[in-house]
Amino acid sequence: MLNIISGIFNIHDLRKKFLYTLGMIMLFRLGGYIPVAGIDHVKLQSLFGKGNILGFLDLFTGGALMRFSVFALGIIPFINASIIMQLLTVGIPQLEELSKEGESGRKQISAYTRYLTVVLAAFQSFGMAFWFRGVMLDGYTFAIFLIGVMVSLTAGSTLIMWFSELLTEKGIGNGASLLIFVGIVARIPSYIANTVTLVKGGASIIGVIILILVFLAMIVAIVIVQEAQRRIPVQYAKRVVGRKMYGGQSTYIPIRINQGGVIPIIFASSVLLFPATIAQFIPNQFVQKAVASISPGGAWYMVFYFVLIFFFTYFYTAITFNPKDLAENIKKYGGFITGIRPGNPTAQYLEYVITRLTLVGALFLSIVAIIPSITESLTHITSFQGLGATALLIVVGVAMDLVRQIETHLVTRQYEGLLA
């Protein structure tokens, strides 16, 4: 770790990337404190913590949504647009062909993603304005408030999308993931302060220690599963092209246990929190009771949460991993899996392997997702309520990716020194 830290400041290119990343993060955090006009912030605080989707979204904005700043939507519209485009690429043949056209095709899909981000940001900002109309300052008409909120939030979300692309291009790591990471980490001091307040108010210190130990154990488990992979050996036959001989080497196909990453948890959380959000607009006692039974913290919520994560893990893996295409590519380049015939038998074998691995990954994600809620209900320590499985998976995953990228720069620098 000390070598990595010293390498950041000793290597010019890496130091430049690090300082650029730090500067963009500072701009991102600064924008989170620029408020949107027309909001009564005292009334605004009462909307949070009612089992709606606001608390979940605020987790990814580092508190910008709770402050209702110009960055209140955060990177969420861009993430949603990227996921939608990924799904459409699988389902629409024209987009699938475009994705296979190399750099020009990827640039075109990136442009479509940007346009979709702006549309989603405008739609979500309209919903936010409608939702927060009850906390307008006196003297504002809804029309003026609506226009101000839509322009501010859409512009802020577009600016964050630009930040993320600049970070990916000129900084260290993936820009979108890094901004989510910063938003989550920025909330940790408030969680610690709330925990101290609970302890001073008579909460059990043993409960706090148990909660911390559970989080540490989850981090270790996440690291192990994120790094775990099944390596399928592939042998390439020798072939002669002109006067040169190609192939003849052995390699392997690395298949991760958790193919979906944090996406299944995000999908499941959004689906479960959506009814609670819609119920805010339906003042019906029966609807309110029905929604309360599946609100965060309840027994039915954890049951549905477990099942939905399990389902979305298989769903997302099915649309992102295509055994037939992989089998065809192996056959095309003269390769075969040891003991398996090329073509359709290889595709069936890969399907069998990925199904078994996805079962392990789905069980892991489902169990990890409900452990924080169970621990909080047993210890009665709710100060870390926002720091659930989603946040831990993102934080650990992004941190590991950053370390890997820095190590890659250091190794590349060493080879450049040897060649020089």
- Residues 216-258 have pLDDT tens digits of 888 888 888 888 888 888 887 766 555 665 556 777 888 888 8
Average pLDDT of the residues in 363-383: 80
Domains of the chain: 1-187 (1.10.3370.10), 202-385 (1.10.3370.10)
Report residue 176's pLDDT band, with 50, 70 and 90 as the boundaries: confident
Report residue 395's pLDDT band, with 50, 70 and 90 as the boundaries: confident
* pLDDT value at residue 242: 58
d(CA 308, CA 269): 9
* pLDDT value at residue 364: 87
d(CA 119, CA 296): 30
* pLDDT value at residue 51: 47
Q: What is the pTM of this model?
A: 0.76
d(CA 205, CA 189): 18
Looking from the CA of 122 toward its CB, the CA atoms found within 13 Å total 8
- Across-strand partners of 232? 253
Helices 76-91, 142-170: axis angle to 10 degrees equals: 70
The residue among 53, 381, 46 whose CA lies nearest residue 192 is 381
Q: What average pLDDT does the structure give for the chain?
A: 79
Identify whether the C-beta of residue 173 lies closer than 8 Å to the C-beta of residue 401.
Answer: yes
Average pLDDT of the residues in 70-88: 84
* pLDDT value at residue 419: 43
Q: Classify strands 239-241 and 244-246 as parallel, antiparallel or unpaired.
A: antiparallel
d(CA 396, CA 226): 9
Share of the chain above pLDDT 70, in %: 82
**Residues ≥6 apart with Cβ < 8 Å to 63:** 32, 183, 186, 187, 190
